[in-house]
Amino acid sequence: MNTIIAPSLLSADFTQLKNEFSWLNKSNAEWIHLDVMDGIFVPNISFGIPIIEQCRKLSHKHFDVHLMITKPNLYIEKFYQAGANSISFHIETQDVASSINLVKQCGILCGIAINPQTPIQELVPYLKKINFVCLMSVQPGFGGQKFIASSIEKIKELKIIKNELKINFDIQVDGGVTLENAAEIKNAGASILVAGNTVFKSEKPLMTIDKLKEI
């Protein structure tokens, strides 16, 4: 199974974005993960539509926009217009079904993100309608956190549900992914790895991306 690597731009050097994209574009990472935070759903504010519009000019990679915001429905179409190729929103927000419809209407991949404390079973009603689940393996809102060990069991639980219901969706794991734990995460059932500090703080990020894919 091919593993998609999605470096998280939250860990990039924003004073050197053009340079960051220069090597990202040459890398074997298929996706670039963009965390949008509103300071309400999570206790942090990151970046929004204007930044993504500018980043879009720097890369043709798949832009995976992760909305950690309270009212995703107000902005889904705007983020699509800014350059998103996939959008995930949190199941903990309201009106999940309409959010799915809005993403689908844009003609891009749809994901549902789920926080560490939220039961996996809450995803079941929506799994047939989405392309991937973004399973948070850290508390959302800040980069550089340590992987929550119990996330492995949640990945396995989600894979069991996927197999039992015979539904085709990807399992994305977001938070604390390293070269040391990537094998366990992939073996549990993940097919998309979001990696922030592991990639951007590496002395050889291109090689690190390749190692994550090869594990």
Residue whose tokens read 């990639």: 199
> What share of the chain in percent tops pLDDT 70?
99
Q: What is the pLDDT of residue 140?
A: 82
Q: What angle do CA 139, 75, 128 make, to 5 degrees?
A: 70
* pLDDT over 90 (residue 77): yes
pLDDT, tens digit, 9 for 90 and up, residues 82-114? 999 999 999 999 899 999 999 999 999 999 999
Give me the residues paired with residue 34 across strands: 65
Asked if pLDDT for residue 1 goes beyond 70, the answer is no
- Asked whether the beta carbons of 87 and 111 are under 8 A apart, the reply is yes
Q: Is 35 a catalytic residue?
A: yes
Tell me how far apart the terminal alpha carbons of the chain are, to the nearest angstrom: 11
What gap in Å lies between CA 134 and CA 190, rounded to an integer?
10
pLDDT at 94: 81
For residue 132, the domain's CATH number is: 3.20.20.70
Instruction: In whole angstroms, give the CA distance from residue 187 to residue 16.
Output: 35
Domain of residue 162 covers 4-214
Cα 180 from Cα 27, distance rounded (Å): 20
In this prediction, residue 141 has a pLDDT band, given cuts at 50, 70 and 90, of confident
Residue 163 makes CB contacts below 8 A (sequence gap 6+) with none
For 213, the token pair is 């894919």
Per the structure, how many domains does the chain have?
1
Please name every residue paired with 31 in a beta bridge, in sequence order, or none if there are none.
62
- pLDDT tens digits for range 145-156: 799 999 999 999
**Does pLDDT of 144 surpass 80?**
no
